[in-house]
Amino acid sequence: MIVRTWKLKLRLSLAVMLLFGLIFAIVILAATLLGYGGNYTLFVILGLGIIFIQYLIGPSMVEKAMGVKYVTEQQAPELHQMVSELAMNAGISKPKIGVSETNIPNAFAFGRTKKDGRVCVTRGILNTLNKDELKAVLGHELSHIKHNDMAVTTLVSAVPLICYYIALSFLFSGDSRNGGGILIGVLAIAAYFLGQLIVLFISRTREYYADLGSIEIGGKPDKLASALYKLVYGAAKSPKEEVKDIQGVKAFFLNDISNARDDIEQLSQLDLNRDGEISEIELAQLKSKNVNIKTSDKVMELFSTHPNMLKRIERLAEYS
């Protein structure tokens, strides 16, 4: 487990460094080609401003979008007990616990810092999962808080936006000095798209990292796999309008609710006895089973906030 955690941390760190190296290269290139660099501090200030605003209002936006209501220990004793135990295992402060009344089964964690962590569940997940599955899901969410990857996501998401602003500034400013302005604009657009792909890679990596974190603090691989299967199924059968209403915060969820209908088709092959769950035996069989993932699904994964669900559960089989 320690080795795998180290590898995930390394991937995350390298992706963040690459992303910030990208923006640094664009700014330096712009200053070099045009012969001055004073105005480019504006983009740095703009980026920092975006990050700071996201940092300040992010939690409130998530709360409003999901209609989160925080619950006391008296209102949800079992939920508080599970979160307290997992937080102790994770070595973090117990986060605030909230419930969203949406019927789409899911859970999410957010906050500005580890001490400001909040973990929330939907009414749908409380009505869908059994106790062990819910514990594994909560372990995943508390791992996001432990890893503090919410702050990383906030930080890196502003970088492609800065590249986009640079591109707009040079492509439509009329400054074609030695063709440098147009060249910088084109390169900034390319950096914007590459930056978006890196941000999505970071988002997918943090999900693998949190899956492993759940197991390390008390969740069971088969219970998390079964929970993911049920969440996908729940989202797939939910009304499209209800899914659309909360798509804006889907990056915080355990799975990409927009792809649920495609995911359920892939995952159904794992539920061998068709009982709606993935058992320990069914998960273990994945270790010796070749899972076929279509090329189109592999390509689509590059543009997704979450890993391919079949690959994700296959990795959980390695931990069982």
User: Per residue in 238-260, pLDDT tens?
Assistant: 998 888 888 888 888 999 998 88
More confident residue, 11 or 317: 317
Count CB neighbours of 298 within 10 A.
Answer: 11
Quote the pLDDT of residue 291.
73
Using CA atoms, how far apart are residues 4 and 244, in angstroms rounded to an integer?
Answer: 35
Using CA atoms, how far apart are residues 79 and 209, in angstroms rounded to an integer?
Answer: 23
Q: How far is CA 51 from CA 48, 135, 194, in A?
A: 5, 32, 19
**Does the predicted TM-score (pTM) go above 0.75?**
yes
Please, which pLDDT band fits residue 150 given cuts at 50, 70 and 90?
A: confident
Using CA atoms, how far apart are residues 185 and 29, in angstroms rounded to an integer?
Answer: 11
- Which tokens in the block code for residue 226? 């079964």
User: For residue 288, what are the contacts with CB-CB under 8 A and spacing of at least 6?
Assistant: none
Beta bridge partners of 124: none
Using CA atoms, how far apart are residues 96 and 21, in angstroms rounded to an integer?
Answer: 36
Q: Just list the catalytic residues.
A: 141
- Which tokens in the block code for residue 62? 């998530």
Q: Tokens 């487990």 correspond to what residue?
A: 1
Angle (CA) 166-169-173 rounded to 5° is 155
